[in-house]
Structure 1
C-alpha cells in the first residue's frame, strides 16, 4: 500500500470518527457534547491541517532501514511536534487532535514500515515505543498524562502504545469486523466496545477521580447488551447517556483516539 493510500486512510479515519453520532460527550455534526469551544467544522479543518504530517509519518516508515525502531520513533516524534504546531495554528490553540497525532502517526509510520518488512503493525509499534513510559512519565508533573501516572500509576496512551495497542488489536478491531448495519451504527457500537474496556485518561481528568472508569464500563456494557444503536432500546439508552455526559461535563477523548486507529486499521485491512 502506497504512502498516499496510507495518508488518505489516516484522514478518512479522523473524518469518519468525527461524523459518527451521537457519541457521549464528544463532538459530532449534531452536537458539540462537553466541548463548547469546538464544533465539527473545527475538526474537519484540524484533520486537513495534518495531511502532510501523515504523509511524512508514512514516508519515515517507508524509508527507515535501521535496526532499532526507537530511532524511527524519534524521527516521527520530531515530525509530530511540527504537526502539533500546525494543528494549534489552524484551531487557534484548541486541542482537537493531539492524541491522534501521537497514535495515528504511529500507525501510519508502522503500516508503511510493514510494507517492506515482514511484520505486523502492532508488534512494530511495540518495538518503536519500547521504554516509553519510563522515559516520559514520572519525572515531570505538567501534562494530564504525567499527573495521572503519578497519582494513579496509569501510563495512559504511552502504556497502550508500548503494549502494542492490545485494546485495538484484540477487542475493537475484531469487534468491528463482525458488526453489521450501516457504518454509523457499526462505528458507534465499536466506540462503546472500546469504552467498555478502556481506562480513558480524558474521562478520568474530566471527572477528577478513577471511580468513573467502572461506571463508564457498566454504561457501555448495558448499551451493548441492549443490542447497540441498531435497536430502539440501544438508541434510547445512548441518547440518555449523551445527556448525562453533557450534564457532568464528561468526555471520552481517549476512547475516540482508539476508535480513530481502529477505523484506520479497518480501512487498511478492507474491513470497512
Structure 2
C-alpha cells in the first residue's frame, strides 16, 4: 500500500528557502506596522527541499481551520467587546451609527469630571472600533501558497499572551500539530516563546525528545523523518474521512427507520407488517454497524491500487463479518443485510477515490462509476454478467431514466446470494447487486431528487423522506412486495402510489401515507427493498451535506 505523501512535490534550492525566510520576516514587520495587538504567522514544519504538495496544502488548511476557531473563541474575551456589541445593536435599532451613539452619550455626561470623560472617550473609541466592522478582531489576514510553502498571517486586536497559549495548544494537542509552525508576535516585533509561559519545549516528531536537540545533533535521518511524517498524515486523513463516511452511513440507517409513517415498514409509530422486529431492533443494528462502515471505507483507502476484482474479494470478507455482527446485535433478526452490501460498495468506493484523488469533494458521477466497477464484480460472480447489454455488447445507458428494477428485499443476504427470478417472471431480478452494478440509479434518479424536491417546498426531512419512499415504491419492482403479495398486487401498489403522488401536497404527505400504512399492514405487505433505496438516497444526501460528495451525478 502506497501512502499519501507530504513530499510529492517539487524540490527547491537552499537559496530559495533562505529567501523565503527573509521575505516572511519582512512581511511580519509590514503587518505589525499597521497596528494591532498581536500577529499570528503560520507555516508548516516540512524538513527537506520539498515545501509544497497537494497533501501539504491539505495539512495547512487543517491548521488554518483550527487557528480561525481559536480566534473566534477568544474574540468574546476582548475588553470592551461585550459593550461594543450592545452599542452596535442599539445603534442599529435607532438607525444611528456607533459613533453617533457614543457622541450622544458623551454629551449627556458633560458635567462629569474630565478624568471620567477621558476614560469614557477611550472606551468609546475602542468599542466603536469593534462595533463598526464585523469581525474586527481580525484586523487583516493574508494566505498564500507558493512553491516555498504555504503561509498565513493574522493581524489581531487580541492580546498576544492569550493567543500564544491557544496556538501552543494547537501545536501540542492537534494530531497534526507537530507539523504546524505557529509564531505569535507582539507589537514590539518579538515572537513570544513557550518558556515565557512555563509551556513545554516542542518535542521531536520521531523520538519525543527535545526537538531542537535532535535537530542540532542530526539524531534522525531524513528518510526516517519523512516516513514518520507521512505515516502521521496518512493515518490522520484516513481516520478523519472514515469517521465522516461512517457517520453519514449510520445516520442514513437511523433516519430511514425513523421516517414516519412508512407503509408496512417498521417506524417510530409501529412495527409495520413485521412481528419479529421493532424500531429498537433497527437502532441496535445501526449502532453495531457504524464501525464496520468505517472499516469498509478503510479497505477502499488502503487498497486503492487494487483491481476492482481484488477489492471486491476483500469487501466480501468484511461484509460477511458485518452480517454476523448485525445478527448478534438483533438476536438473529435480519434488519440491514441488503444495506450492508450497498454501503460496503459505496463506502469503499469513497475511500478509494479520497485516497487517490486530489480534491476533498468527490463528484457524484465519478463515485457512481467506481461503484459500478466494484458492483459488476458481484454480477459476474453470480450471474456471469456485469451490467452490459446482451443485445449490443455495450454498457447500458447510464443517463437514461431507470426502468422498473426489482429492489432486493432486506430479508435476503446481498453480499452472499443474488436475487433469483421471482416466481412467474421470465427475467432475473438482480436486486441490490444490479442496483450497485448500475450505479444506484433508483437512489440517484428517484429517491434523492424526491428528497430535494420536498425539502425545497419547506417539508421537514422526515416528511420529505416519506414522500421520497412513495416515489421509490411507485417506480421500483420490489421483490419483497412480489414475494408477499404476488406480481399483480405489486403492480397494483405501484400504480396506487403514482396516483397518490399526483395529488399529494406537503400538507397531505403524512395523512396520505398513514392511510396507506394501515392498508399495507392489513394485507401483510412490506416494501423492504424500497426502504433500502431510501436509506441509500439519504446516505448520498448526507454525504453532499457534509461536503464529501458534490451533487452533479446527472
Q: 1:14 aligns with which of 244, 253, 265?
A: 253
Match of 2:422 in 1: 148
Higher normalized contact order (CA 8 Å, seq sep 6+, divided by chain length): 1
Deviations 1:214-264 (A, max 9, x none): 222212212221225x223x4333222111211111111101111111101
Structure 2: tracts of 5 or more residues without a match: 1-239, 358-362, 385-415, 548-554
- Following superposition of structure 1 onto structure 2, how do residues 193-232 of structure 1 map, counting pairs within 5 Å? 193-207=471-485, 209-228=486-505, 230-232=506-508
- Greater per-residue helix proportion: 1
Partner residue, 2:266:
27
Match of 2:446 in 1: 171
1:123 and 2:369 equivalent?
A: yes
Q: How does 1:48-127 map to 2 (within 5 A)?
A: 48-118=287-357, 120-127=366-373
Aligned Cα root-mean-square deviation (Å): 2.3
- Equivalent-residue separation in structure 1 for 2:268 and 2:254 (angstroms): 11
Q: Secondary structure at the match of 2:521?
A: helix
Where in structure 1 do 4 or more consecutive aligned residues deviate above 6 Å? none
Provide the residue aligned with 1:38 in structure 2: 277
Instruction: State the SS of the aligned residue for 2:354.
Output: helix
Q: Which of the pair has more CA radius of gyration? A: 2
The correspondence of residues 230-249 of structure 1 with structure 2, limited to 5 A, is 230-232=506-508, 234-249=509-524
State which of 458, 464, 470 in structure 2 corresponds to 1:192.
470
**In 2, Cα distance between equivalents of 1:190 and 1:133:** 28
Q: Distance in 2 between matches of 1:58 and 1:226?
A: 41
Structure 1 residues 176 and 203: CA distance shift in structure 2, 3 A: same
The alignment partner of 1:105 has SS state of helix
Q: Residues 72 and 143 from structure 1, CA distance in 2 versus in 1: closer, same or farther, beyond 3 angstroms?
A: closer
Q: Distance in 2 between matches of 1:212 and 1:116?
A: 46
Superimposed CA distance per residue, residues 41-74 of structure 1 (whole angstroms, 9 cap, x where no aligned partner): 1110011111121011010111123352122122
Q: Where does structure 1 lack aligned partners over 5 or more consecutive residues?
A: none
Q: How far 1:133 sits from its partner (Å)?
A: 2.8
CA displacement at 1:211 relative to structure 2: 2.4
> Which residue matches 2:360?
none
